[in-house]
Structure formats: C-alpha cells, structure tokens
Structure 1
Amino acid sequence: MLIDAARDIAELNRSRYGLRMYRMRALGLGLGAICVAAVLYEHTASPALWTLLAINGLVWPHLAYLRVRLAKDEPLQAEFQNLTFDAAMGGFWIAAMQFDALPSVLLAVMLTMDKVIIGGARFGARTLAAMAATCLASSAAWGFAFEPHTSYPVVLACLPFLAIYPMAIGVATHSLSRKARQQKDLLEKMARFDAATGLMNRQQWLYAATLELKRYQRTGRPAVLVLIDIDRFKDINDGYGHTIGDGVVEDFARLMKTCLRDTDTGGRYGGDEFGIVMPDTRWEEAIVAAERLRRQVSAFSFTGEGLHCTISIGLSEPHAGIASVSDWINSADGALYRAKAKGRDCIVVGC
C-alpha cells in the first residue's frame, strides 16, 4: 500500500514536472521579452533581432516543454539543459540591449534566482557563467556597445516582470516545498510501517514493546503483549498461490485494526505473524479482545474467494521474571506455540 502510494506520487510528480517548468518559462520569458522589446524599439533594432526575440519569448517555451516530454528516461537532465540555454540567451539579450541598466539587471537576477531555486547554488553559478560568456561574446560582436541609461518607457515596460514573476516563483516554490514535505512524510511512514498492511513494521513494533516494558518496570502499570499467527498459512500459499496469501494477510490486518483500541499498538512481526502491545491491560481483559478477533477471523470470507482461516493467539503479561523485551516476546511466543499444539484456533496465556 505505502509502496504503491510512493510510486503514484513519483509518477505524478514526473508528469507534472515538465508542465510546471513550461508555465514558469512561458511566463518569465514572455514578461522578459516585453522588457527587451522596449529597449530594441528605442534602438531601432533589425528585423532579425525582432524575429529572434519572438522565437525566444513565444516559441521556445513550447519547444523546451516538448524536449522534456520526449526525454522520458532523463527529463531532469533535459530541463537542466533548457535552463542553461535560457541563461545563455539572457546574456545575449543583455548585450543586445547594450547593457541598458534596469532590464539587464532584471534579466540577470531573475534568470539566476530561478536557477538557484531549482538546481542549487552550484547550478546557479554554472548558468550565470554561461550567461556571462554569451554576453561577452555577443557584446564583442557588436563592438562592446555600452549604453546603460534606462528611459522612463523602459522602466514602465519592466514593471510587469518585476512585479509578477517573483510572485509566481514564490507560489511555485511554496507548492514544491509542500510536495517535498508530503514525500518526506511518506518516506518516514514507509520506514515505520509495513507496506502491505499499514501496521507498524517489526522494528518499530519491537521498539513500542520495549517502551511499554520499561514503563511497567518503572511504574508497575500492567500491559499485555499479544502474538497472533494465521493457522496453516503455508498451506494457503501452496494451495492458492502467493497472491491469495498476500490478500489473506492484508484482509487479516484490516480485521485486526478494527479490534485495536486507540492506545494499542499493532504490528506485523513476521510473514503471517502479528503482534499487539496493549498498555494498561490485564490478561483477563486482553483475552476478551483476543477472543473477539478470533471469532471475527473465523467467520470472515477472505480475499473474496470464500476462503476461511483461523488464528492462534498467545498472550503474556510482564512480571519480575521478564527482564527484557526478548523475554516478553519469548513468553508470548511460547503461549502461541502451545495454542498451536492444542489444535490451533485458540488462545493461550503465557506464564
């Protein structure tokens, strides 16, 4: 279950990754093109430059998105290449504007800021170097023309880029951070819980049992450790196949969860073996809950195949002779073994 969820999130993120970048690139390059166009208009630029600006600002975002979509194996690498190209073109337009102060600084800062957000400081430095190299080469081709003065009309043309693009980056960054937190939470859950059943995995369940035993040793408050085994589970796997066996495990886990109190801790101890830690409980109370679970399992039709199963259950209360969680487990396991020896489908209390 948890593995499927992680896979679904990864696939969803891959499918949305190129689209997210496409939207940000289309917005950024479109707004940036307005700044550049205002300067080119003042400089009476050639038709070739106007055509190149239209291609870079209006056509390239679609081509970049197509490159990422076609790069199914390495979309991230394709996008990093696109981002490097964006930075290089930014350097070209800074030179083409003859270093007009406000739009040049705006292009350099915005095109570096989003690279740092996406790829980190090292990638930001690399793309900034590509921008500087392209700018230097392009400026040399134009004889190092340098006119840093910014007119009032160009200032007005830069305002949409200055106001809208940072806000868009903020929204996109917040969305990415939220998805990162979701993935972190999922990974932490996968590290603590069994993927198939959603119960605590063996390590985490043993840790919960250890804490409960220490609490008993410190305060004397009662607790019960329960071990449960699906009877003749090997015969189910051999007779019906492992897919049905996995379904039996998942169905049983759901039944077990319905019998747990909020304070109980259920876990998958092994393949077909489960455990419950029941704090503030005597064995007389625990055996009532265990019997209710045993009856529910016996009456349940598993995996939609009309398959019926039984369970054997061993209980153990901590006492002075139990010094460690291993002793506690062994006591419950011994009771479980005796339940199986008695013919299964029953409950035995350990001593």
Structure 2
Amino acid sequence: MPLDAALHLAEQNRVRYGLRMYLMRALGLGLGAICVAAVLYEHGASPALWGLLAANGFAWPHLAYLRVRARRDDPLQAEYQNLTFDAAMGGFWIAAMQFDALPSVLLAVMLTMDKVIIGGARFARRTLGAMAATCLAASAAWGFAFDPRTSYPVVLACLPFLAVYPMAIGVATHALARRARKQKTLLEKMARFDAATGLMNRQQWLHAATHELKRFQRSGRAGVLVLIDIDRFKDINDGYGHTIGDEVVEEFARLLKACLRDVDTPGRYGGDEFGVVMPDTRWEEAIVAAERLRRQVAAFAFSTRGLRCTVSIGLSECHPGIASVSDWVNSADAALYRAKARGRDCIVVGC
C-alpha cells in the first residue's frame, strides 16, 4: 500500500475511533448526569456542584473527543486517559450523592462495564481503583456523609440510564464485532493472495499444486502444472520504469485469468513468473490454453505506451515419476528454461 494511502487510512481509523467513543461518552455521561441531578436536587446542592455536573456531563465529552483528535501519535493512549478520568469522576459523584444506592450502583457498574469492553479486566481494575480513590477522598471532604436511601423520583430519573445505555453498548459492541470479522477476513485474504494481481501467492499456489499431486497419486486423475515467464521483464523495468512494469504484471494476470477455466488455479510464483495448476487435464489440452494465452499476450498493447510483450511457457503433466510437488515444479521449470533457450515466445512440454 502506498505511504499516502496508508496515512490516509490511519487518519480515517483514528477519526472513526474518536467519534465512536465520543458518541458513547456523550450518551452515557448525559444520562448519568440526569441520575446525579435528581439526587443533588433532593440534597439542595450548591451552585458550584451544579456547574461541575453540567461541565462533566455535557462539556467534557466534547473536550475528550478533541483530546483524542489531537493525539495523532497515540489516540488510544489519550482515550485510556479519558476513560480513567471518567471513572474518577464517577467516584466523585457517588460521594457527592452520599452513596444513594441505585444511582451509585448504576454509575459504578456502567463505568466499569465499558472499561472491561474496551481495555479488558486489567484496565477495568485500574480505573475501578481510580474511582474508589476519588470517592474516598471526596467522601472524606464531606465528612463521610452516608445516605443510601433511594427515593421514587430518583428511581424514575435512573430509568433512562438503566434502559438506554446498556442497549447502546450492545449495539456498539456488535458493530465492533462485525468490523473485527471483516478485518479478519481481509487479513486472511491478504495472507493467501498477491495484492498486485489478485492471484494466489506462491505459498498458497504450491499448496494447491500439492493437493492436485496427491489426488493424482490417489486416483490417477491427470493434471498439468504450467509455469509462465514474461520475457525480458527486467528490460521493461529498466527501460520504462517499475510503474510500467507493475502495469504489465497486473494486465498479464488479467489476461491469464481470462484464458483459464474456473477449475484452474493460477498463482504468482515470483516477480514476473506465474504458475497454473490445471486439474483433469492432459498436456495436449493444456497446450491449447497455453497457446491461446501466448497469442493474446503477443497481440496485447500493455500500458498507455502500447508496449508489447511475449511469454515463455513450460508444461509438465503429472506422472508416476513425480514424487513431490518440488519434482513437478522442477519439471515445468526445466521446460520453461528450454522455451527461453529456443528464443522465447514459445511453449515447451516437459518430461
């Protein structure tokens, strides 16, 4: 992937991560502030405490989002710091509510649950410690006031938090799981296929060849292994540049796939060398497909400069003398070498 594309993707991921956490924090702290406000109202809280609650519940989510956006080098670390601050403030509000049972338990559980989801049990324990420490310090400042009774109005104020926030976490977790599955599928595909051509990479193609060889050894069903080399590819890179060389490789891969059957397995064996495993095929049938490919490549204008290319092709039909996939590849490679020795742009069948 080009550097500018990689940087752009990293920027997109950072923005999406910060936005996702911003929405969850705004929702959670906003609903939590309603619970705390109901208790503060009953206790006749000071204007300063009301101002702090408004700042924490409705201004802090925006500031936390800006902190993550500003940390281009490590947004995850900035978010962990934000989450630790959230937990510490949760402990402060539990003490401010004089440990009113329902809202205190809601704050402690919800603020710990999202930490487990995001950072695991170890991070949750650390933030729970910050919550406990802040709660103890704030409670000491208020003379360890303790009034755990929950009135009916406070219960009603807690219902939106109790109903909405867990569902929001469930939706967000499901979205993250879907994204993780997509990324896993993409990584598995990247591990199996060549990024430039979309063909199987060398390791996977050799695995397919091994599978076909074992099938021949079990049932005697015919199979052909084909190796193809773009003639004088080094001269193309040297004379036209690697960008044109890459275009030639990509266009050749497209032509190769168009000339094959659905059951055939093409792969990129090396830089300018390709392979095909053709099951249930004799060499007489394989040479027809190889000749069609050779003609199409010779007639094709590669790149906008009208560059012409040719290919050399070596075939090897599986037979009892082939004991391993290395033997099979070496047989096709020897045929390919003879095709080059004959002047290139031709097909040779190996023994």
User: Which TM-score applies when normalising by structure 2?
Assistant: 0.97
Secondary structure of 2:276's aligned partner: strand
The superposition leaves residues 63-102 of structure 1 with CA deviations (integer Å, 9 ceiling, x where unpaired) of 0000000101110000000000000000000000000000
Secondary structure of 1:146's aligned partner: coil
Describe the shift of the 1:6–1:263 C-alpha distance in structure 2 as closer, same or farther (beyond 3 A): farther
Gaps of 5+ in 1: none
Q: Distance in 1 between matches of 2:182 and 2:22?
A: 23
Residue aligning to 2:287: 287
Describe the shift of the 1:297–1:326 C-alpha distance in structure 2 as closer, same or farther (beyond 3 A): same
Gaps of 5+ in 2: none
Residue aligning to 1:57: 57
The superposition leaves residues 166-209 of structure 1 with CA deviations (integer Å, 9 ceiling, x where unpaired) of 11101110111111111111111111111221111111111111
User: Which TM-score applies when normalising by structure 1?
Assistant: 0.97
The superposition leaves residues 221-248 of structure 1 with CA deviations (integer Å, 9 ceiling, x where unpaired) of 1111010000000110111111211121
Amino acid at match of 1:113: M
The alpha carbon displacement at 1:3 in A equals: 10
Q: Distance in 2 between matches of 1:138 and 1:345?
A: 84
Q: Distance in 1 between matches of 2:309 and 2:101?
A: 78
State percent identity of aligned pairs: 84
Residue aligning to 2:20: 20
Q: Distance in 2 between matches of 1:120 and 1:44?
A: 38
Residue aligning to 2:218: 218
1:85-234 aligned at under 5 Å gives the runs: 85-234=85-234
Q: Distance in 2 between matches of 1:253 and 1:322?
A: 28
| Native 8 Å contact 1:3 1:195 kept in 2 | no
The superposition leaves residues 302-332 of structure 1 with CA deviations (integer Å, 9 ceiling, x where unpaired) of 1222111111111110111111111101111
Task: Between 292-301 and 112-121, report the one with greater CA deviation.
Answer: 292-301
| Native 8 Å contact 1:29 1:56 kept in 2 | yes
Secondary structure of 1:297's aligned partner: helix
Q: Does 1:334 align with 2:320?
A: no
Amino acid at match of 1:87: A
Task: Between 1-10 and 37-46, report the one with greater CA deviation.
Answer: 1-10
Amino acid at match of 2:27: L
Amino acid at match of 2:212: E
Q: Distance in 2 between matches of 1:212 and 1:119?
A: 46
| Native 8 Å contact 1:102 1:150 kept in 2 | yes
Amino acid at match of 2:340: K
Task: Between 174-183 and 106-115, report the one with greater CA deviation.
Answer: 174-183
Secondary structure of 1:260's aligned partner: coil
Task: Between 120-129 and 6-15, report the one with greater CA deviation.
Answer: 6-15
Q: Distance in 1 between matches of 2:5 and 2:169?
A: 28
The alpha carbon displacement at 1:259 in A equals: 2.1
Q: Distance in 1 between matches of 2:187 and 2:12?
A: 16
Describe the shift of the 1:216–1:253 C-alpha distance in structure 2 as closer, same or farther (beyond 3 A): same
Q: Distance in 2 between matches of 1:219 and 1:165?
A: 61
Task: Between 315-324 and 5-14, report the one with greater CA deviation.
Answer: 5-14
The alpha carbon displacement at 1:13 in A equals: 2.2
Residue aligning to 2:350: 350
Amino acid at match of 2:350: G
Secondary structure of 2:250's aligned partner: helix
Q: Distance in 2 between matches of 1:133 and 1:324?
A: 67
Task: Between 2-11 and 166-175, report the one with greater CA deviation.
Answer: 2-11
Describe the shift of the 1:273–1:2 C-alpha distance in structure 2 as closer, same or farther (beyond 3 A): farther
Q: Distance in 2 between matches of 1:67 and 1:8?
A: 20
Secondary structure of 2:145's aligned partner: coil
Q: CA RMSD in A?
A: 1.6
Q: Distance in 1 between matches of 2:261 and 2:2?
A: 23
Q: Distance in 2 between matches of 1:154 and 1:86?
A: 22
Q: Distance in 2 between matches of 1:341 and 1:197?
A: 28
The alpha carbon displacement at 1:15 in A equals: 2.1
Q: Distance in 1 between matches of 2:290 and 2:322?
A: 22
Q: Distance in 2 between matches of 1:155 and 1:205?
A: 64
| Native 8 Å contact 2:14 2:69 kept in 1 | no
The alpha carbon displacement at 1:2 in A equals: 11
The alpha carbon displacement at 1:8 in A equals: 6.5
Q: Distance in 1 between matches of 2:3 and 2:180?
A: 17
Secondary structure of 1:278's aligned partner: strand
Secondary structure of 1:30's aligned partner: helix
Residue aligning to 2:304: 304
| Native 8 Å contact 1:6 1:186 kept in 2 | no
Q: Distance in 2 between matches of 1:47 and 1:144?
A: 21
The alpha carbon displacement at 1:4 in A equals: 9.7
Q: Distance in 1 between matches of 2:200 and 2:299?
A: 25
Amino acid at match of 2:333: D
The superposition leaves residues 87-121 of structure 1 with CA deviations (integer Å, 9 ceiling, x where unpaired) of 00000000000000000000000000001100111
Residue aligning to 1:320: 320
